[in-house]
């Protein structure tokens, strides 16, 4: 069976997971920006950073999967949200459903990892978006804030790093 790891990473956290996973599974990893053809692979493992509700590079990558092919897509998201909170993972899955065709979503295996953020390294665009989001969620009454919202408020404009490379072990166990 031929396998490939493809990743979408803006600031390096997802790329770090992808490279570590590639090393552990002895598979090559490539940025979605460089992949042109997925037809020769049976299994595509896609790691994508979560940005504003979307998964970086996922739509472009899925378009490279031939229609009606019996490829296996393993999708791994990387974001700030606590992946042990079902509300967060439900929101992520809802976002995925908007990005890929139903038949691909229904046959995919989906996993979630926690990433990180360093506000000092964000592009002007991302810094501006995060500032607007922060101002919006800060207005939400405390009793109506979700755990994700509270975490965002508490960590705004800081460096936050939740990367746990050992969490890849559970994914490897479930996809091997």
Decide if 138 is inside a domain: no
> Has residue 126 been placed in a domain?
no
Length of the chain: 176
Strands 72-79 and 109-114: parallel
Domain containing residue 167: 3-118+159-175
Domain count for the chain: 1
**Domain-located, residue 111:** yes
Cβ within 8 Å of residue 93, ≥6 positions away:
110
**Tens-digit pLDDT profile for residues 69-95:** 888 999 999 988 888 888 888 888 998
Residue 93 lies in a domain: yes
Q: How confident is the model at residue 108 (pLDDT cuts 50, 70, 90)?
A: very high
Mean of the per-residue pLDDT values for the chain?
Answer: 91
Q: How confident is the model at residue 57 (pLDDT cuts 50, 70, 90)?
A: very high
Decide if 16 is inside a domain.
Answer: yes
Which pLDDT score is estimated for 40?
92
pLDDT of residue 13: 95
The Cα 125–Cα 65 span in angstroms is 30
Mean pLDDT of 29-52: 94
**40 occurs within a structural domain:** yes
Query: Cα–Cα distance between 14 and 31 in angstroms, integer?
Result: 10
CB count within 10 Å of CB 168 equals: 20
DSSP string, 24-42: HHT--EEETTT----TT-S
Cβ partners under 8 Å of residue 51, min gap 6: 10, 126
Q: What is the pLDDT of residues 111-160, one digit of tens each?
A: 999 999 888 888 898 899 889 989 998 999 999 887 778 878 888 998 98
Domain contains 48 = yes
State residue 172's pLDDT score: 96
Residue 42 lies in a domain: yes
CATH code for position 64: 3.40.50.360
């Amino acid at each position: 069976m031929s396998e490939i790891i493809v990743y979408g990473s803006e600031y390096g956290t997802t790329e770090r997971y992808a490279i570590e996973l590639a090393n552990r599974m002895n598979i090559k990893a490539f940025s979605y920006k460089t992949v042109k053809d997925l037809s020769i692979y049976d299994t595509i493992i896609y790691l994508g950073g979560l940005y504003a509700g979307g998964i970086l590079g996922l739509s472009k990558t899925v378009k490279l999967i031939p229609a009606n092919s019996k490829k296996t897509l393993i999708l791994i998201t990387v974001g700030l949200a606590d992946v042990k909170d079902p509300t967060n993972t439900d929101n992520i899955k809802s976002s995925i459903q908007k990005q890929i065709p139903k038949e691909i979503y229904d046959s995919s295996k989906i996993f979630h990892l926690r990433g990180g953020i360093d506000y000092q390294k964000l592009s002007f665009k991302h810094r501006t978006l995060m500032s607007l989001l922060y101002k919006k969620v800060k207005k939400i009454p405390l009793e109506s804030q979700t755990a994700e919202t509270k975490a965002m408020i508490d960590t705004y404009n800081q460096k936050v790093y939740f990367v746990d490379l050992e969490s890849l072990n559970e994914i490897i166990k479930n996809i091997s």
